[in-house]
Amino acid sequence: MKKIITILIVSMLWCNIGYSNEIVNLVCSFEKSIENKPMGDVVLGTKGDPDYSHYTNGRYIEYEIVSKDEFYLISTSFLYKEVLPEKKQMQVDDKVISFVFKHAEDYTEIFMINRHTGILTQVIQRLMKQGLPQTTIYFSCSKKSKI
């Protein structure tokens, strides 16, 4: 009985070691952009739309997996004029990996990566108190060995 318990504990520890310090690189391509208005959503642009070509130039996210519930954002091309000061802790559950950037009092970006489909949802909330609608942008992401 003691042997079985010892083997079980060692195997559980071994599984946790498998997560340690894995670097994941995601390359994302634009799918569509939607403006969320009170009277209904409005599609602003879709894949192949020339007005949205700036979204398709190899957007990426690089993050580190320290343990099964501890992920850190290392770098990303989704930040426009900001440099990531340090690794940023990401929120993790079975379905979604997420992180938030608050640029100003009235400007927030929320990023959610569906762990099963690879769809990245970027929610942009800016000047909402002044009546500007929230914008949701969808990207299709896939893992790459190096960016």
Residue 93: both structure tokens together? 């559950």
Contact between residue 144 and residue 26 where contact means Cβ atoms under 8 Å apart: yes
Q: Which of 6-20, 46-60, 74-88 has the highest mean pLDDT?
A: 74-88
Percent of the chain exceeding pLDDT 90 equals 7
CA distances from 77 to 61, 108, 133 (A): 7, 16, 24
Residue 68 has a pLDDT of 81
Number of residues assigned to the chain: 147
Sign of CA dihedral 82, 70, 110, 53: positive
Q: Cα separation of 126 and 98, whole Å?
A: 19
Domains and CATH numbers, the chain: 20-144 (2.40.160)
Residue 107 has a pLDDT of 84
**Tell me: the pLDDT tens digits for 25-43?**
888 888 888 887 767 666 6
